[in-house]
Structure 1
């Protein structure tokens, strides 16, 4: 028999911009080293690999904050929507309770009125 699975831990907060910047700096160092060492003409493509790494890293440094802000906005919108739905459900439930209480009161009032007329009829 298997044990019940524990819930997943929450995601660990990270500084993704710092990670992208560190990777970009590493590609820049690699480019400088390759330029200083000097490569044979058939291995010059390594320089372009470093340039591509730097370009992708700079794009990541620019894009990651925008991505995280967009995700935070979406999550806030989802949370607000869930909150509105929960409050409307709670209002609907309380309104339904009020309606059923009013219906119960009118049923009791109608029953007491019927009893009053039947008592008057028997008294006459």
Structure 2
């Protein structure tokens, strides 16, 4: 199998033929997605706090700590995505030719 820039325009699977759309991928850096996910985990943690006694009685305090871990890991992910976006922007600016007005 060789890798090349040319991709097939159709796939035949069984007796069906599937056409591949010529669509460019979205340039998604994930910053907003990770931020929203982190906020959802934080809201879930705060929403479960009033029920700590009931969760403890039922042996489900792990729900609360899962939310806290999700929020904490989300913060790491958020910082990672921000750095990745900044690096990609800097790399794109370095390869773009300077704009001259004339």
Shift of 1:15: 5.8
Counterpart of 1:102 in structure 2 is: none
Counterpart of 2:56 in structure 1 is: 40
Greater fraction of residues in helix: 1
Greater fraction of residues in strand: 2
For structure 1, the 5+ residue unaligned runs are: 81-124
Match of 2:37 among 23, 32, 36: 23
Give me the whole-angstrom Cα distance separating, in 2, the residues matched to 1:30 and 1:62. 21
After TM superposition, list the pairs within 5 Å mapping 1:1-124 onto structure 2: 5-7=20-22, 9-14=23-28, 16-38=30-52, 39-41=55-57, 42-72=59-89, 73=91
Task: Please say which structure displays the higher CA radius of gyration.
Answer: 1
Cα–Cα, structure 1 residues 10 and 37, in superposed 2: closer, same or farther, change >3 Å? same
For structure 2, the 5+ residue unaligned runs are: 1-11, 97-102
Give me the whole-angstrom Cα distance separating, in 2, the residues matched to 1:43 and 1:3. 48
Q: Give the number of equivalent residue pairs.
A: 77
Give me the whole-angstrom Cα distance separating, in 2, the residues matched to 1:24 and 1:3. 38
TM-score, scaled to structure 2? 0.58
- Cα RMSD of the aligned pairs, angstroms, is 2.8
Shift of 1:54: 0.4
TM-score, scaled to structure 1? 0.49
Counterpart of 1:117 in structure 2 is: none
Cα–Cα, structure 1 residues 5 and 49, in superposed 2: closer, same or farther, change >3 Å? closer
